[in-house]
Amino acid sequence: MRFSVPQHTVSRRQLLSGTLGALGVSACGQPLLAEELTQRRKKLLLLFQSGGASQYETWDPKPGTHTGGPFQSIPTSVPGVHISELLPHSAEILDQLTVIRSINSGINDHFFGHYAIQAGHNLPGHPVLGSVVAQQLEQSRDILPGYISLRRDGPKAYTDVGDAGFLGAKYEGLRVINAEPPEYLVRPESVSALLMQSRDQIRRRNDERFLQGRRPAPIHAYRDTFDKAFALMTQRDLFNLEQESSRDRERYGEHDFGRHCLLARRLLEAGVSCVKVTHHDWDAHQENFHWHEVRCGEFDRTFATLVRDFSERGLLEDTLIVAMGEMGRTPRINQQGGRDHWGKAWSMAMAGCGIKPCIHGSTNEDGTEVADGEVNHGDLFHTFLTALGIDANENYQLSGQTSPIGDPACAAIAEVLS
């Protein structure tokens, strides 16, 4: 006796139309044209200095003061503006950068800091910047995950704090470790491309059927994970940095951060909305000065190369590049020659997407407090989203409930927006 369950019945017409749709062809054979194809999409590249870079040894030096440390400041391409001597390459491109010297987040903790600076909220549960951008800027033609996070292996526990929250697994950051593609991206030889497509369509149809009468969230999570994996299988070559010229690989830097930034450029060019590259080990509680020589040495040349490269390729107009950590470092130098956590007065830099190159805000003579133009992490969040064309004053619509995208008590920094 044949047994048939109506919800498990899939018609041949339905199956074929789904398969053809996945191949970009309508059932009548006409190519699909979406309005989004003609729109230029904004993108975000987040360079995260995990551990907290010292503002004294980067963007807001105080040479000659009791808090300033041993390094001098150097002139930049902006007349009258000096930054640390540890950032000579960034000094050459400062006319393309926006530097915020007046951040007061009030947060001195790695875990909370990682979350708050990326979520723009103090209350837990909000999605982080990458997930927000992935969701808000997604387009129907997107193949790749909207948010990819690049880091090396063996990070500190706080490095991965923050996720998509209530936005769901679809907007979770895909973690790529050591610039290596995720495992199992290669289709087995025994499975043809058409067979793989057909199998995926069957999976999708089954998921749709299974959804009927069931809670959608877990099913969507599985579906979204499969979709991401499937998309990456077709784009595996993105991870092959050997396709880049030796010149580019050298000038980006033959280290983790350099390779990740080069991969980030490839991913953004391929359509990913947000890539986060973590530069590790800024938490210099000991030997702050020698250590910043090392970290800034890696960061500076790669960062300047990145900005120049994006500009030359015409990407900077639509890509917001943000360089920041979760906090700054103390004015006082401890017994071990280090600087500790400091959320009261610290700095970050950004470029692109129409942000006005300028220096915003200032600290007092010894850098212990913000003197002018104080902003917090919520204000920065608003600013980033506004530059990307996202209204942070809007709300998420969550099954009948709303939640503000940005903290309503905060606002974008108008002075740096075009």
Partner 1 sequence: MNILNPPQIELLRDFKNDVGLLTCAFASQGSTVFLGAREPGAKFVDLSEPESVAQTLEGHATWVTAISAFPDHVVTADYSGTLICWSLESESPTPRWTKNSVSIRCLATNSTAGIVATSGTDGQVRLWDAENGASIRVLGGAAFPVFDLAFSPDGSFLFSVDRAPSKPTVRQWDTSTGELAGSFDGSDLSAYRRGENVQWGGIRGIDVSADGAQIACCGRHQYNGPGTVLLFDVASGQQTAKQVSEFPGLFHTVQYHPDGFLVTAGGDVNRGEVWFFPADGAPAIGKAPVSGPVMCLDLSPDGRQFAAAQSVGQSAYPDGGALGIYSLQPTAAANSSVPPDEPS
> Which residues are near partner 1 by CB under 8 A?
51, 66, 70-72, 152-156, 280-281, 283-291, 293-294, 297, 332-338, 340
**Smallest distance, Å, CB 239 to partner 1?**
21
The stretches of 279-327 forming alpha helices (DSSP H) are: 288-312
Q: Which is nearer to partner 1, 173 or 338 (CB)?
A: 338
Which residues are registered as beta bridge partners of 396?
A: 403
The residue type at 152: R
- Measured distance CA(367)–CA(328) in Å, rounded: 11
What is the C-alpha to C-alpha distance for residues 374 and 363, in angstroms, rounded to an integer? 9
d(CA 58, CA 63) in angstroms, rounded, equals 12
Question: Exposure of 171 by Cβ count < 10 A (0-12 exposed, 13-18 middle, 19+ buried)?
Answer: buried
Q: Give Cβ neighbours of residue 79 (< 8 Å, ≥ 6 apart).
A: none
Give the distance, in angstroms, between the CA of residue 179 and the centroid of all CA atoms in the same chain: 15
Q: How far is the CB of 332 from partner 1 (least distance, A)?
A: 5
Closer CB to partner 1, 171 or 291, in the complex: 291
In the block, which residue shows the tokens 């503000």? 404
Q: Which residue, 175 or 209, is less far from partner 1 as judged by CB?
A: 175
Least Å from the CB of residue 52 to partner 1: 10
DSSP 190-255: TS-HHHHHHHHHHHHHHHHHHHTTS-HHHHHHHHHHHHHHHHHHHTGGGG-GGGS-HHHHHHH-SS
Provide, rounded to whole angstroms, the least separation between the CB of residue 335 and partner 1.
Answer: 5
Strand 346-351 to 73-75 pairing: unpaired
Q: How far is the CB of 57 from partner 1 (least distance, A)?
A: 11
Least Å distance, CB 86 to partner 1, is 10
**Burial class, 291, CB count within 10 angstroms (exposed 0-12 / middle 13-18 / buried 19+):** buried
CA-to-CA distance for 24 and 39, rounded, in angstroms? Answer: 18
Nearer to partner 1, 71 or 384 (CB): 71
Minimum CB distance to partner 1 smaller for 71 or for 257: 71
Query: Is the CB of 82 or the CB of 156 nearer to partner 1?
Result: 156
Smallest separation (angstroms) from partner 1 to the CB of 24: 43
Phi/psi of residue 414, each to 5°? -60, -30
Nearer to partner 1, 248 or 281 (CB): 281
Least Å from the CB of residue 51 to partner 1: 6
- Closer to partner 1 by CB, 65 or 198: give it: 65
What's at 268, amino acid-wise? L
**Which CB atom, from 330 or from 376, has the smaller least distance to partner 1?**
330
Round to whole Å and give the CA distance between 294 and 280.
12
Q: Which is nearer to partner 1, 153 or 189 (CB)?
A: 153
Strand pairing report for 346-351 and 319-324: antiparallel
Q: What is the DSSP letter of 86?
A: T
> Shortest approach of partner 1 to residue 337 CB, angstroms?
8
Kindly state the DSSP code that residue 302 receives in the 8-state scheme. H
* Widest distance between CA atoms in the chain: 91
Smallest distance, Å, CB 365 to partner 1?
Answer: 17
